[in-house]
Chain A
């Protein structure tokens, strides 16, 4: 398919060059025989929140995990096509996945703090990358990260307490603090609120709104309301295909594709 055909099929996948942080071109992902992502081409805008929505098993999480090469750990997974971060193909032979993951942070569906203290959870990333020259610099990184994640005031007196002793929402914010402690350019969030109650969810959404001043964020979500609330752009996936992508306002108000319309109005999925 050429560029125009793609545009015609899926709405507005491409952005002007200065806005693009990540560009994906004809990405195909296979798990063994299973063709999980089919020919997806899309641009992700810098310092915006992009939401991936779609019914379960549509491939949105798989696609997200391609962006920081998390799928490398799955032996049967094969990826074709190219994903460019600031113009550089991350699947190039000379790209180090460890370095890539230092640039692209990730927050997972289930809060997964390390079984260590709150402080150690946040300090781990900067420590392994050697970002702090001494203890006071490390302290500073930990505190700023916790502050940015909106958690510092709640935990400042218990930095030595285990991270797993926090509530689910706090744990997830701790994971966000852990992700931003290495100062990534991009944060991937894989259904970050699916295990949280509405209040904790609201806090995380608020946080994402603030974080987008400095970071590019991609969020996978089941909740269309959430996508509508937090994102500027939305991509709708279905059975491994990218069905429609565009500005969130347009997609939710006036979807071009019938599948999209059915999904966001609740008649499907």
Chain B
């Protein structure tokens, strides 16, 4: 090294050198920072576009057009022999009541074809609604009630402004139909109301009757099966591999395979489910139990990998501390390592579950794509799930299903948000930062 005098002599030049370099270093930093911010802004913009379009397309589905009808519950139509028998009440032709009311509202309609058009402004669900009212309260028979019934989806779309009335003979809404609707609007006999049916009903061929609840329940059951199978299995596998298994060629092979499994396309798991669970074990088709099993296979690698990472991050000093006071291997893992690793394991599980919730392809293979109207009552019932429901509706030609597709996506995103929020709460609960 030079003596101190030499360094002092050179110090001016040295500082100049460092200063010149500093400028370059700061410039680099600035570029990096700008790139980072740009990336974040682009991502946020995309997210905003996604949310805005979905909400814009979907929010109208939360409302449904209803038509006010003054229904006379005519005893001669419902129960001509005055039996009061529930069998008779449930078999009665409630459609006739609706048609009669409509004819009374528009007495000028005489021709058969015109009549048919007139009847079609009200949803076919109206008759079911009346039936339910009578079944709930037979005392209604013989009285006249004001009832709001859902309008047909075409009328709904017209009121919401998605379709226009065409010229004579063209378009879905003919001129006379439009005239009736105008009359209804003038009489304040048509209005948009909150669409309860969408949140409480199952699927339907009629968009105005189709609801998301069946798919939500199906998703809940499927997620439930997936969670109770994949979490314990995944955690147990990770603990064994990380803490107990010897390190040899076999465990290496297992590890490589688990990592590979995480990258297998999900439809392959669907094929496996079809071959093994349906054809070999004979489990019911389209059922959440099978969906859950398939999704368990799909999520297991994710959970195992995340759990192993979080086990590795537990400081070895904790293990040594436990062994040092004479805890057995099992005790040191169960009492100390596992509780510390649990938050990380939960995060991994939630990532896996979120992926499983949005999964469609493997479920198509095991029949969860079927058209199912009933709300599933258990994990062995036929069901569909939210993403498959979205797929089904997106595939339907009716204009009204387009808005319901977006609405279903909103519901799916809300579902996901609730699930993630729950995970954060659980994490906070288990996380001990001391």
Contacts and interface: CB of A to CB of B under 8 A. Distances in A.
A164 to B, nearest CB: 5
B325 A125 contact: yes
Contacts, number: 70
Interface string B324-336: 1111100100011
A257 interface: no
B368 interface: no
A147 B315 CA distance: 28
B323 interface: yes
A164 B340 CA distance: 14
A182 B326 contact: yes
Interface in B112-168: none
A165 interface: yes
B24 interface: no
Q: Number of contact residues on B: which range applies?
A: 20 to 34
Secondary structure of the B side of the interface? helix
A129 B335 CA distance: 14
Interface string B417-434: 000000000000000101
Contacts of B247: 75
B317 interface: yes
A115 B432 CA distance: 7
A113 B325 contact: no
B176 interface: no
Given A115-B434, A128-B331, A73 B324 contact: no
B312 to A, nearest CB: 15
Contacts of A101: 323-326
A103 to B, nearest CB: 8
A102 B319 CA distance: 15
A112 B326 contact: no
Contacts of B321: 108, 112-114, 175, 178
B324 A114 contact: no
Contacts of A175: 321
B318 interface: yes
A108 B340 contact: no
B325 A178 contact: yes
Interface in B331-348: 331, 335-336, 339-340
A163 B327 CA distance: 19
B341 to A, nearest CB: 12
A70 B247 CA distance: 19
Contact of A73 (B315, B317, B323): B323
A45 B318 CA distance: 30
A143 interface: no
Contacts of A70: 320, 323-324
Interface string A155-198: 00000001111000000000100110110000000000000000
Interface in B391-434: 432, 434
B322 interface: yes
B331 to A, nearest CB: 6
Contacts of A128: 325-327, 331, 335
Given A75-B247, A115-B340, A124 B325 contact: yes
Contacts of B326: 98-99, 101-102, 125, 128-129, 182
A105 B324 contact: yes
A112 B320 contact: yes
A201 B335 CA distance: 30
Nearest to A65: B320
Most buried by A among B318, B321, B339: B321
B327 A114 contact: no
Contacts of A179: 324-325
Given A75-B247, A182-B326, 18 more contacts: A68-B324, A70-B323, A98-B326, A99-B326, A102-B325, A105-B324, A107-B324, A112-B317, A112-B318, A112-B320, A112-B321, A114-B322, A115-B339, A115-B434, A124-B335, A125-B325, A165-B434, A179-B324
Interface of A: 68, 70, 73, 75, 98-99, 101-102, 105-108, 110, 112-115, 124-125, 128-129, 162-165, 175, 178-179, 181-182
Interface of B: 246-247, 315, 317-328, 331, 335-336, 339-340, 432, 434
24 contacts: A75-B247, A101-B325, A102-B326, A106-B320, A106-B324, A108-B320, A110-B317, A112-B315, A112-B317, A112-B320, A112-B321, A113-B321, A114-B318, A114-B322, A115-B318, A115-B339, A124-B322, A124-B327, A128-B325, A128-B326, A128-B331, A164-B434, A165-B434, A178-B321
Closest 6 CB pairs of A and B: A162-B434, A102-B326, A112-B317, A125-B325, A106-B324, A101-B326
